């Protein structure tokens, strides 16, 4: 009797554990006749929610606006866009499962994923499937696109580094200590080039240290930093560790300049470090939705307002990217005049920045005006922003 009961309890527990892992998130229905289904794979729950949810919402907003304005027009016929949302929890296995689910529901256009861990897991599957077109609005790791059926409208880490180099040359820093998340493929792969670029400016890289997500004690590394007397501490990773390293560096008496290279929503930053300790920290990433708003960009302001009106809070750093992604797809569909993947791929590769006036993000066009380089990557460059008061703002690099 006792045994039976405990057996049932075990089953219940197991069921619970499994069940929680596989909560369905908006399964894709088969598409109706005059509907285009775009699947989006983002971390709606899990550790990267603060990036993923605002992306998913940006996609929803764009789709709604397009639909209200008459949808996508193909050969005189108009189609409504329907978004099928899948939650990858920033985990590769969940991401692959999400992709398979979309594929089996005959979804052929994918936006996402966000996470640097998920994208490489999806790549081989998508590359081999000629009934899929993917537009990545996340990861900055290298080699995620192929220019055939995989494109990306987010910057690469090298794009971020453009801003770092700009900052160093403007401020004439002489030495840098780098601390990098060693599991972040984008930062790890681009670090050598960055160090070389900085060396070209006469900057010595005094030390390179590596940590991982979830590390909490950086005191040994930061103590050594004090001994080396460097001008800049450059942190490349995610905001929770960024905040912690910044805090511990200050406590251990580091008085140089702290520079971040990470997408870091102020709300997330402030959950981990008091605003005062962030004052004056530089960040080198492409402009965020909020930056465009602060720069007075009309399209960004409209997006910001629509977002606030619908979700009662401001958009995320990456909302604009995801929002743009839907418009990029729309432009590609219309340019292709068909929903055939091969045609859409070709059209996407040929799109010019000027073809899509709705884009919020300011991409640098390729020399021939195209949005994507032949490898499917946009040219999006980092800009320097600085923490003032409660958040980031575009920095002026003149002293």
Residue 51 to residue 89: CA distance in whole angstroms: 11
Shortest approach of other proteins to residue 246 CB, angstroms? 12
Of the pair 225, 300, the CB lying nearest other proteins is at 225
**Per rule CB under 8 A, count of chain residues that contact other proteins:** 42
Q: Quick one: which segment of 109-117, 266-274, 315-323, 346-354 binds other proteins (CB under 8 A)?
A: 266-274
Of the pair 255, 396, the CB lying nearest other proteins is at 255
The answer to whether residues 273 and 260 touch, using CB atoms and an 8 Å cutoff, is no
Shortest approach of other proteins to residue 267 CB, angstroms? 9
Near other proteins by CB under 8 A: residue from 24, 75, 76, 227: 227
Of the pair 15, 70, the CB lying nearest other proteins is at 15
Near other proteins by CB under 8 A: residue from 39, 49, 158, 329: 49
224 binds other proteins (CB under 8 A): yes
Of the pair 80, 224, the CB lying nearest other proteins is at 224
2 binds other proteins (CB under 8 A): yes
Shortest approach of other proteins to residue 91 CB, angstroms? 12
Shortest approach of other proteins to residue 244 CB, angstroms? 6
Q: Quick one: which segment of 56-64, 269-277, 352-360, 375-383 binds other proteins (CB under 8 A)?
A: 269-277
Residue numbers 169-198 binding other proteins by CB under 8 A: 182
Shortest approach of other proteins to residue 76 CB, angstroms? 47
Q: Residue numbers of the site for other proteins (CB under 8 A)?
A: 2-3, 5-6, 9-10, 13-14, 16-17, 20, 45-47, 49-50, 182, 209-211, 214, 216-221, 223-224, 226-227, 240, 243-244, 251-253, 268, 271-274
């Amino acid at each position: 009797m006792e045994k039976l009961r405990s057996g049932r309890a075990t089953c219940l527990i197991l069921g619970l554990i499994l069940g929680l892992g596989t909560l369905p998130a908006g399964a894709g229905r088969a598409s109706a006749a005059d509907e285009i289904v775009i699947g989006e794979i983002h971390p709606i729950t899990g550790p990267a929610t603060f990036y993923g949810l605002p992306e998913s919402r940006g996609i929803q907003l764009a789709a709604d606006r397009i639909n209200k304005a008459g949808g996508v027009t193909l050969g005189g016929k108009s189609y409504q866009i329907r978004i099928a949302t899948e939650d990858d929890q920033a985990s590769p296995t969940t991401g692959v499962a999400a992709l398979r689910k979309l594929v089996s529901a005959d979804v052929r256009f994918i936006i996402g994923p966000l996470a640097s861990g998920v994208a490489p897991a999806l790549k081989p599957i998508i590359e081999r499937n000629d009934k899929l077109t993917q537009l990545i609005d996340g990861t900055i790791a290298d080699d995620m696109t192929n220019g055939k059926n995989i494109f990306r409208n987010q910057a690469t880490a090298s794009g971020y580094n453009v801003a770092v180099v700009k900052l160093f040359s403007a401020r004439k820093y002489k030495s840098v200590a780098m601390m990098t998340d060693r599991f972040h493929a984008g930062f790890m792969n681009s670090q050598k080039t960055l160090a070389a670029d900085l060396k070209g400016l006469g900057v010595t890289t005094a030390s390179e240290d590596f940590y991982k997500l979830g590390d909490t004690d950086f005191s040994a590394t930061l103590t050594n930093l004090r001994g080396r007397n460097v001008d800049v501490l450059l942190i490349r990773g995610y905001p929770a560790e960024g905040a912690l390293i910044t805090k511990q560096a200050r406590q251990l008496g580091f008085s140089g300049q702290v520079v971040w290279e990470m997408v870091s929503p102020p709300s997330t930053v402030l959950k981990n470090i008091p605003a005062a300790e962030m004052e004056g920290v530089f960040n080198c990433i492409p402009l965020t939705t909020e930056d465009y708003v602060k720069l007075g960009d009309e399209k960004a302001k409209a997006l910001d307002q629509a977002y606030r009106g619908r979700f009662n809070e401001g958009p995320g750093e990456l909302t604009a990217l995801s929002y743009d992604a839907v418009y990029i797809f729309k432009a590609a569909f219309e340019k292709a005049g068909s929903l055939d993947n091969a045609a859409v791929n070709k059209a996407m590769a040929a799109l010019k920045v000027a073809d899509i006036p709705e884009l919020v993000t300011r991409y640098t066009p390729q020399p021939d005006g195209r949005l994507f380089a032949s490898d499917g990557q946009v040219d999006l460059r980092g800009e320097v922003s600085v923490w003032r008061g409660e958040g980031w703002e575009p920095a002026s690099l003149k002293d």
